[in-house]
Amino acid sequence: MNEWNAMNSSEPDQMSETSPAPLRGGDLVLRLAAIGVVIAGIAGLFLYAGGWFNPHALSPATMITAFEQTSGKHPGFRRNHAKGVCVSGYFESNGRGVALSKAVVFLPGRVPIIGRFALAGGQPYQADAAHTVRSMALLFKLPDGEEWRTGINNIPVFPVNTAQGFYDLLLASAPAPATGKPDPAKMSAFMEKHPESAKAMQLIRSQPVSSGFADSTYNSLNAFRFINAQGVMTPVRWAMVPVQPFVPYHAPDSGQADKNYLFDALITSIQSHPLQWHLIITIGQGDPTADATLPWPPDRQQVDVGTLTINQVESEDTSPARDINFDPLILPSGMSGSDDPLLSARSAAYAESFTRRESEHKDPSAVSPAETGK
């Protein structure tokens, strides 16, 4: 998606070819006109890149505005994964990742983490629901000053494989004003245009949903590359797999469904004992790295590289994690992005969402300091 990258037009500069001969009046007018045309051309390219001449061009701003149009504008909140709670703890590496990546995070030992659990969607006051996508976002603070940021979801594959696909899905699933529900005609038109999404959604629906945040597996979905000290590059995906046993979701009794029941259960668990996940690296063997709708075969080699422990929980109203952009391309040396086009799209969209929310006043989080006890 070119629109996602800053445009680097390198038009040859005709003006540098000027002759040293004195200019006559007519020449001067012609040259000024030529300069004007060049400047207008360059300005036009920037305006085009910004989507001004083509209202249908997909830019980060267009994408983030679409979130605001479909979920309403909620100042100060993330435009997606808007409802969340912040956490902290540490990651203990067992040293097994060193063979795959020279990243400092894989040296044996402990590094602090700060993170955030959230529900997908642009509404910060939505009621918790079992089938809403759950996320874990983490920032690993490495001893050499580097950071590894990752945002991972509890679904096996992503529903789209391009930014355009995400935008189309956003518009197709917007609630129709008359019913408050997505228009089925728009959804089926979307599925027809994006058969890869229809397949991915089938897989997502077939996966059993766990009881809450604590017993969910969170997946990177995008592929990345690990580089070890010998310069060997390995395509990978990663997952946080819970130590907490899987308990299948069951619908709360009617009347019992507290609006924050998933967050409240998470807070209660962390307050009673630390929660843990294994960081599992899956090694690709010629598997697709540029298509997050496709699963990798289940027999791929997996390496358990260490354990994440989460032992503190805090409302977004007071935690510094509210003001972190969990950009998936903030990676330490020894890790890099892959050819997956979603990675640069995410990076650009998160920056736009972050810039907008950081300049706005902050409304209180649905998961308040009273609930987290902090």
Of 102 and 340, which has the nearer Cβ to ligand HEM? 340
Burial of 24-59, coded b for 16+ CB within 10 Å and e otherwise, reads eeeeeeeeeeeeeeeeeeeeeeeeebebeeeeeebb
Of 102 and 341, which has the nearer Cβ to ligand HEM? 341
Candidates 34-42, 73-81, 89-97, 99-107 — which segment interacts with ligand HEM by CB under 6 A? 73-81
Of 49 and 66, which has the nearer Cβ to ligand HEM? 66
Tell me which residue of 159, 171, 158, 162 sits closest to 56, measured CA to CA: 171
For the chain, what's the residue count?
374
CA distance 122 to 80: 4
Tell me which residue of 84, 128, 95 sits closest to 228, measured CA to CA: 95
Q: Does residue 87 belong to the site contacting ligand HEM (CB under 6 A)?
A: no
Least spacing, CB of residue 330 vs ligand HEM, in Å: 12
Question: Which residue from 83, 102, 116, 149 is in contact with ligand HEM, where contact means CB under 6 A?
Answer: 116
Cβ neighbours for 255, distance < 8 A, ≥ 6 positions apart: none
Cβ neighbours for 179, distance < 8 A, ≥ 6 positions apart: none
Q: Does residue 172 belong to the site contacting ligand HEM (CB under 6 A)?
A: no
Binding mask 176-215 for ligand HEM (x = CB under 6 A): ----------------------------------------
Question: Which residue from 91, 106, 140, 158 is in contact with ligand HEM, where contact means CB under 6 A?
Answer: 158
Pairing of strands 302-314, 218-219: unpaired
Q: Does residue 169 belong to the site contacting ligand HEM (CB under 6 A)?
A: no
Binding mask 130-149 for ligand HEM (x = CB under 6 A): -----x-x------------
Q: Does residue 366 belong to the site contacting ligand HEM (CB under 6 A)?
A: no
Q: Does residue 49 belong to the site contacting ligand HEM (CB under 6 A)?
A: no
Site size toward ligand HEM (CB under 6 A) is: 29
Spacing of C-alpha 39 from chain mean position:
37
Tell me which residue of 343, 354, 356, 359 sits closest to 5, measured CA to CA: 343
Number of residue whose CB is nearest ligand HEM: 151
Catalytic residue among 56, 74, 81, 278: 81
CA distance 142 to 152: 19
Of 62 and 102, which has the nearer Cβ to ligand HEM? 62
Q: Does residue 163 belong to the site contacting ligand HEM (CB under 6 A)?
A: yes
Task: Return the half-sphere exposure (C-beta side, CA atoms, 13 A cut-off) of residue 231.
Answer: 0
DSSP 246: P
Q: Does residue 342 belong to the site contacting ligand HEM (CB under 6 A)?
A: yes
Is 250 noted as a catalytic residue in this protein? no
CA distance 102 to 92: 16
Pairing of strands 109-119, 134-141: antiparallel
Of 168 and 215, which has the nearer Cβ to ligand HEM? 168
Pairing of strands 83-93, 109-119: antiparallel
Candidates 75-83, 180-188, 254-262, 303-311 — which segment interacts with ligand HEM by CB under 6 A? 75-83
Q: Does residue 151 belong to the site contacting ligand HEM (CB under 6 A)?
A: yes
Tell me which residue of 352, 363, 263 sits closest to 322, measured CA to CA: 363
User: What secondary structure, in 3-state letters, does 279-324 show?
Assistant: EEEEECCCCCCCCCCCCCCCCCCEEEEEEEEEEEEECCCCCHHHHC
Q: Does residue 345 belong to the site contacting ligand HEM (CB under 6 A)?
A: yes
Active site positions, annotated: 81
Binding-site ranges for ligand HEM (CB under 6 A): 63, 78-81, 84, 116, 118, 135, 137, 151-153, 158, 163, 166, 221-222, 292, 325-326, 342, 345-346, 349-350, 353-354, 357
